[in-house]
Amino acid sequence: MNCTWHVGRTASGDTQYFLYWKTSKKEDFTGCQSYIKDNYGRHTGCRFQNITIENKRAYFLVNGSRSGQNIHSYEKMIMLYKIEKLTPPLNVTVNCTEASHGCEIQWQPPRTSHVKRHGCFKYEIVIENKADPEKNIKHTSKRERSVTGNSYIFGSFSAEKRYSVKIRATDNGCLVSTTWGEWSTPVEFGKVQLISTSSYMLFLIPMLAASLILFLCAVSIYLKKTSATVPQPRNPFHELSPMDIQTDYENQLIKHETEDIITITEEVA
């Protein structure tokens, strides 16, 4: 909870303010523990943490001093639930079925410290149909107020269209602020949003180029490895050179010289 006040028009730079509060007349005032200050160091507000709205009301007192003298104080009783700013409804989900041409929108009540019943809230729902120039679909909006419960059936759903929904809450006869709370974050549903052709090509071309480079690098590495390990076969039709013929002839001579020669001599009587 934040409490703020304006500095007096004639307040000097040495004017200082102090805030006190209590939740019943029988209690004593308690001073602020975390002040908000302006550029002159003057207190202009107070931040309260972990506030619960169980007693429904609170009493506030602001006083101050200037040049050592007290200034006129300000006191006010406030019904806390009336100034509470409701948070957005929680966990908004959408489930659509094309067969029934309808969608069920579900949510949970806003988070508060003093209201536990779901029936204490009513809701405003805004469903927008997003424009699509290619299909000649114009932007439309559907607004439903005073919706009770925690679900809503959206009819006339078309799978060819793209929608978004947001929800906010207010009082439904309980101790809840009658001011509309904050909108929930829009939830989109319906047709999946398509990427334009130009955007698709800009994305696809670099991906194809990178894939081709990686493929060529892999092939090059594979060929280098296979050529280094597999011996090259000798060509049987290779024509012998003169040097090869000379070498072969010398090998034949060496073979003849190393053979044993047996001579048979026949004597005549």
Q: Distance (Å, rounded) from C-alpha 144 to C-alpha 108?
A: 17
pLDDT of residue 263: 41
Share of the chain above pLDDT 90, in %: 30
Least confident of 126-135, 188-197, 230-239: 230-239
What integer best gives the mean pLDDT of the chain? 78
Give the tens place of pLDDT for each residue, 74-132. 899 999 888 889 999 999 999 988 777 789 999 999 988 888 888 999 999 999 887 66
Here the tokens at position 93 are: 């989900």
Here the tokens at position 266 are: 């026949």
Residue 185: pLDDT band by 50, 70, 90 thresholds? Answer: very high
pTM: 0.60
pLDDT of residue 70: 85
pLDDT of residue 198: 38
Q: Is the confidence at residue 233, as pLDDT, over 90?
A: no
Residue 260: pLDDT band by 50, 70, 90 thresholds? Answer: very low
- Mean pLDDT computed over 168-176: 92
pLDDT of residue 149: 92
For residues 24-62, one letter each, b for 16 or more C-beta atoms within 10 angstroms of the residue's C-beta and e for the rest, the string is: eeeeeeeebeebbeeeeebbebbeeeeeebeeeebbbeb
Highest mean pLDDT range out of 115-119, 208-212, 225-229?
Answer: 115-119
Amino acid at 14: D
Least confident of 142-156, 171-185, 213-227: 213-227
pLDDT of residue 90: 95
**Domains of the chain and any CATH numbers:** 2-83 (2.60.40.10), 90-190 (2.60.40.10)
Of 87, 147, 159, 78, give the one whose Cα is nearest residue 119: 147
For residues 113-141, one letter each, b for 16 or more C-beta atoms within 10 angstroms of the residue's C-beta and e for the rest, the string is: ebbeeeebbbbbbbbbbbebeeeebeeee
pLDDT of residue 193: 39
Q: Distance (Å, rounded) from C-alpha 165 to C-alpha 186?
A: 5
- Mean pLDDT computed over 173-184: 92
CB 86 within 8 A of CB 181: yes
pLDDT of residue 235: 52
User: If DSSP codes are grouped into helix, strand and coil, which group holds residue 226?
Assistant: helix
Of 128, 141, 145, 154, give the one whose Cα is nearest residue 180: 145
Q: Distance (Å, rounded) from C-alpha 46 to C-alpha 155?
A: 48
Q: Distance between the two ends of the chain, CA-based, in angstroms?
A: 150
Give the tens place of pLDDT for each residue, 13-68. 888 999 999 988 888 999 999 999 988 889 999 998 888 887 678 999 999 888 87
As a residue count, the chain comes to 269
Residue 267, phi then psi, degrees to nearest 5:
-90, 145
